[in-house]
Amino acid sequence: MNEMTTIEQRKHVGLPLDDNAQLAQALAEANLHTLLASYVYLSHEQELLERFAPFIRPAFSLERVEIPAELADELRAKLHHLLTTGEGVRSEAPSDDLVRRIMTVTAGEEVAPEFLELVYDQCGFTPWIDRSAVPGRKAPPAGFKVLVIGAGMTGMAAATKLREAGYDFVVIEKNAEVGGTWYENRYPGVGVDTPSHFYSFSWEIWPDWHHYHPHGADMQQYMLDVADKYGLRRDIRFNTAVETLVYDKETALWTVTVRKSDGTTEDIVVNAVINGHGPVNRYKWPEIEGLEDFAGTLVHTANYPADLDLKGKRVAVIGTGASAAQLVGAIAPEVAELTQYQRTKHWVIFNPEIAHEVSEGMKWALANIPTFKEWFRFRVYWSAADGLFSNVLKDPEWEGNPLAVSQLNEFTRQYALGYMQQKFPDNAELREKLTPDFPIFSKRIILDNGWYDALARDNVHLQDKGIARILPNGIEAKDGSIFECDVIICATGFNVSKMIGGLTIKGVDGRDLGQEWGEEDPRSYLGMCMPGFPNLFWTVGPNSAPNHAAGQNLISECQVNWIIEALDRMVESGAKSFEVTQEAFETWNRKVEERMPQMIWTHPGANSYYNNSNGRVFLSWPWRLVDFFNATRRPEEGTYTLN
């Protein structure tokens, strides 16, 4: 093709753009690596890409190499000309080899070919297949109905894609609005560990984030906007809770009993159920003597009162996990005095972007420069997800090391120690209190967004001696010290291991899933299916959590894709039920058990909510996100039966 594109081709990529101050600001402020990726993707000019390559390092590399100003200026000038004239835009899509080279250079490290399909799908280069438009696909029959439990991120994904695929469905949501976790968690400082531009649906990449890591309110606003855009609320029954699910083998139907807001119950009969209520939905109180006797205000971060005023109050915070760190960082400046009670130490990492606002120029680039938002999403995915995977994979040469499992893991630990030293250079006692004695990433890490600054304040104290009892007027520590307080805030997490929650589920011949899983030992196939429970699909189930880094949004999308593929198998064959085989279930769990000793979560120093009381890692997915993506393109033949 010649250098001048046709008008039709320019329209295809949204070009030309007006040559105005907004474009100039965007080119000046937007991420340079992503500008490079967009330019080369549109122009196929690999020569410029190779000239940048020597100056780009991985996101967390200690080696910093400045990109020459004249090279950056050349890129901006070339991209400006391309965007404002359309000249140089290639009509054909770039080759897979060129796309992978763009990925490798802009990531600063080799990105293997196996990541291409995931990037095309999850970064929005290729849209989800509209199953309703697939030639020859058999449409779901009239009367075939699916019930979805929960309208959080996974439930909303299921609703969007079920409708697109032509399925009749209803979503049952216990709250008054969509959002799940982000509707319920409203404590001061609540935020998201996953970067904004990745923690969203691949088919709805938002250019309007205010921060690179969204505040809770921003995340909830995104959910509300998605619900508005896709008209999801018309298929959601709010203020309604699912209580019981009973399967009838003869009819292959589930009877789902729900409790309505007026207290009455109703039975809904459906062909299939998708459970999207998630494991971080049922918060737990600490088991501490005297908790119920406290005379002041007692709250949990997961049920935080909107009208709670802490100004000038004496506040105790129980817990030092992610929620506690966010909370303390937010409230420390306004309280009179705060004591935080630490039971478990946590590794803390600082990402400078966590507090950064997205500039107006960057927002404009995300909204207007063709492929920019897709390439920026790739950059975030790589630096915050699979690019970090080697942190959690044990290197046999490091066997027996109490503090690290690989060279990269040790590097990351030193990075965290260096940050702690930087924040508390003259407080060795506090550093000792905060420094864990286990490998980083073996438990959930904390991204610091003000917690360390709060701990350095004169009105904040960290108590690590343990709690003896709660008194009517405060907390007595095990060293005998007493902190008199007005408010106790429990940031003590969720009952993750009891994945069935409060549901009662009866499958074939009355099999009780709650009894089979018990209090803390859930098992499934791919985190989604259990033999004996046909047409029941779990999400975010056993061993499907991406605990090496960001990526729950990807897991949710992949599981929804697989589930709809499973439903389609039923429809295509005229079957009434889809059930994973016992052999596939056992083979899968054996594969997980064989893999887990290679992972950091089985290190002797690891003990977190990823493990049950027997040490079994029931929550974590022990491979990369790309492996989950590949495993969930479609149900594998021979792993299921249709009846």
In CATH, the architecture of 291-354+401-490 is 3-Layer(bba) Sandwich (3.50)
Q: How far apart are CA 367 and CA 382, in angstroms?
A: 21
In 301-438, DSSP assigns E strands to: 314-318, 337-341, 348-349
Q: Are residues 148 and 170 in contact, defined by beta-carbon separation less than 8 angstroms?
A: yes
Q: How far apart are CA 129 and CA 543, in angstroms?
A: 27
638 in helix, strand or coil? coil
Helix 96-107 to helix 32-43 angle (10° resolution) is 170
In 456-495, DSSP assigns E strands to: 460-463, 467-471, 474-477, 482-484, 487-490
For residue 297, the cross-strand partners are: 487
Q: Are residues 183 and 156 in contact, defined by beta-carbon separation less than 8 angstroms?
A: no
Joined together, the tokens standing for residue 614 give 């027997």
Residues of the chain with CATH 3.50.50.60: 141-282+496-642, 291-354+401-490
Work out the angle at residue 238's Cα, subtended by the Cα atoms of residues 236 and 241, and round it to the nearest 5 degrees: 110
Residues of the chain with pLDDT > 90, as a percent, come to: 90
Classify domain 141-282+496-642 by CATH number.
3.50.50.60
Amino acid at position 299, single letter: V
pLDDT at 9: 39
pLDDT at 6: 35
pLDDT at 2: 31
Helix H segments across 397-512? Answer: 407-423, 428-434, 451-455
pLDDT digits (tens, 9 = 90+) for 547-596: 988 889 999 999 999 999 999 999 999 999 999 999 999 999 999 999 99
pLDDT at 127: 79
pLDDT at 643: 97
pLDDT at 8: 35
Q: Is the pTM of this model over 0.85?
A: yes
pLDDT digits (tens, 9 = 90+) for 306-320: 999 999 999 999 999
The answer for residues whose C-beta is within 8 angstroms of residue 634's C-beta and 6 or more apart is 562, 565
pLDDT at 64: 80
487 in helix, strand or coil? strand
The whole-angstrom distance between residue 19's C-alpha and the CA centroid of its chain comes to 38
Q: Are residues 525 and 597 in contact, defined by beta-carbon separation less than 8 angstroms?
A: no
- The H-or-E segment that residue 259 falls in is strand 253-259
Joined together, the tokens standing for residue 625 give 């996100």
pLDDT at 13: 62
262 in helix, strand or coil? coil
DSSP structure class, residue 50 = H
Q: What is the mean pLDDT of each run of 10 residues along the chain (643 residues)?
A: 33 80 98 98 98 92 88 98 97 96 97 96 87 90 97 97 97 97 94 91 94 92 97 98 98 98 98 92 93 97 95 98 96 98 94 83 97 96 91 96 95 94 97 97 93 98 97 97 98 94 97 97 98 97 92 95 97 98 98 98 94 95 96 97 98
